[in-house]
């Protein structure tokens, strides 16, 4: 059983990374990672079946049922990538309904995320096309979007940062190198969203820890980095104005149907544009206000528990997995197709809730 959980951790880590790297890997080495979702879904179903004797957490089961119901009522939806992405997301949630999160799963997930990021960036840094472009001034390079590269780098920074205090001096030197490299990758991408999300998470962590000096340094570095990206991006004003136009179109659709569109793909169908670059608006338009309310409520609950009630009691891997979810969720407010990202967000949300629930049980056990 431990081996199956370890394999699931590896498969899920690659599934989380795939939306951000698949486009480049297909073009660079002809590797399409779409099959990973089939593998991870099969492992999720297999684990759920093996754990049939373990009692299901009633709260999680009800929440998943409510999400499925509010998804099914989108009766006008076509069989699009977004529709399939939600089905994959629901399937990947199944192993966590028993509120069981083995250490081997968490470890394999984190290690695979980091190693896969290193593999991805080794391909990019050795790509001959890297020297032929000014990456900061383009919105698409080498077959990949800048925000995708920046998100992978930001996740890697979190992994390095959270393990820094638990390793020896030699490994600390290596982690410092990796942190500097990944932050440089974010700056080179010219993507603002992941940078702001990363520094917001790190600043909140330092503020709650009472590390005022480190908080001040992090805030200054974050501000300077954001200013640097804005200064070298010639089109940032055009980008902001185009986002406002997308928001206005989405608001217009919502105003005509306040309960939601009940049609996955409705925004694209009505506007001819892929997505509105905002999680709330896209889910509201393509799904319904009920689905949005459940996701938003659970996310706020996770954030509240993470940074208030359980701040000093959550172990490193639990903190890390919760913060990876928060990072990707924040980035979905800016420049990601939110419906398709539900294949990543839904399992990460249930993993985060498991982490919080298990930490609460540990605290009660100590008392």
Residue 70 CA, distance from chain mean position: 22
All structural domains of the chain with their residue ranges: 2-366
- Percentage of residues in the chain having pLDDT higher than 70: 82
User: What average pLDDT does range 325-343 have in this prediction?
Assistant: 89
Where does 126-168 have alpha helices with state H?
146-163
Burial 175-199 (b: 16+ CB within 10 A, else e): beebbebbbebbbbbbbbbbbbbbb
Q: What is the pLDDT of residues 62-112, one digit of tens each?
A: 999 999 999 888 766 566 677 889 999 999 999 999 888 898 999 999 999
Phi-psi label, residue 178: left if phi above 0, alpha if psi -120 to 50, beta otherwise: alpha
- CB-based contacts of 353: which residues, under 8 Å, 6+ apart? 60, 96, 298, 301, 302
N residues, the chain? 367
Which range among 294-298, 302-306, 358-362 shows the weakest confidence by mean pLDDT?
Answer: 358-362
User: What average pLDDT does range 282-290 have in this prediction?
Assistant: 90
Which DSSP string do the residues of 269-299 spell out, in sequence order?
Answer: HHHSSS--S-HHHHHHHHS-HHHHHHHHHHH
**How many CA atoms does the CB half-sphere of 99 hold within 13 Å?**
15
Q: What is the pLDDT of residues 219-264, one digit of tens each?
A: 666 666 666 655 555 555 556 667 788 888 888 888 888 888 778 8
User: What average pLDDT does range 43-48 have in this prediction?
Assistant: 94
pTM score: 0.90
Report the alpha-carbon angle 348-198-143, nearest 5.
80
Look at the block and give the residue holding tokens 């080498």: 142
Report the alpha-carbon angle 163-166-172, nearest 5.
70
């Amino acid at each position: 059983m431990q081996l199956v959980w370890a394999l699931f951790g590896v498969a899920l880590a690659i599934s989380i990374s795939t939306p951000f790297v698949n486009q480049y890997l297909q073009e660079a080495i002809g590797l399409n990672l779409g099959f990973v979702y089939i593998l991870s879904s099969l492992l999720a179903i297999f684990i759920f079946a093996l754990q049939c004797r373990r009692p299901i957490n009633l709260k999680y089961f009800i929440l998943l049922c409510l999400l499925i119901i509010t998804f099914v009522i989108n009766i006008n939806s076509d069989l699009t990538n977004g529709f399939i992405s939600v089905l994959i997301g629901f399937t990947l949630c199944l192993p966590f309904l028993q509120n069981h999160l083995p250490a081997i799963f968490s470890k394999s997930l984190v290690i695979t995320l980091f190693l896969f990021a290193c593999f991805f960036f080794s391909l990019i840094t050795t790509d001959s096309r890297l020297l032929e472009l000014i990456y900061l001034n383009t919105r698409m390079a080498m077959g990949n979007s800048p925000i995708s590269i920046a998100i992978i780098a930001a996740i890697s920074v979190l992994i390095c940062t959270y393990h820094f205090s638990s390793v020896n001096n030699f490994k600390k030197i290596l982690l410092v190198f990796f942190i500097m490299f990944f932050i440089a990758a974010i700056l080179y991408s010219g993507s603002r969203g992941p940078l702001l999300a990363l520094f917001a998470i790190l600043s909140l962590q330092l503020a709650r820890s009472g590390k005022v000096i480190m908080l001040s340094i992090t805030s200054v570095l974050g501000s300077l980095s954001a200013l640097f990206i804005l200064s070298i991006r010639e089109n940032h004003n055009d980008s902001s104005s185009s986002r406002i136009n997308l928001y206005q179109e989405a608001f217009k659709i919502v105003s005509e149907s306040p309960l939601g569109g009940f049609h996955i793909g409705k925004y694209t169908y009505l506007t001819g544009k892929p997505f509105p670059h905002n999680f709330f608006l896209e889910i509201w338009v393509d799904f319904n206000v009920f689905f949005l309310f459940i996701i938003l409520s659970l996310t706020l609950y996770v954030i509240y528990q993470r940074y208030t009630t359980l701040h000093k009691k959550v172990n490193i891997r639990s903190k890390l997995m919760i913060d990876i979810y928060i990072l990707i969720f924040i980035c979905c407010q800016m420049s990601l197709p939110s419906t398709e990202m539900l294949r990543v967000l839904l399992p990460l949300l249930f993993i985060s809730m498991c982490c919080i629930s298990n930490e609460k049980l540990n605290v009660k056990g100590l008392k």
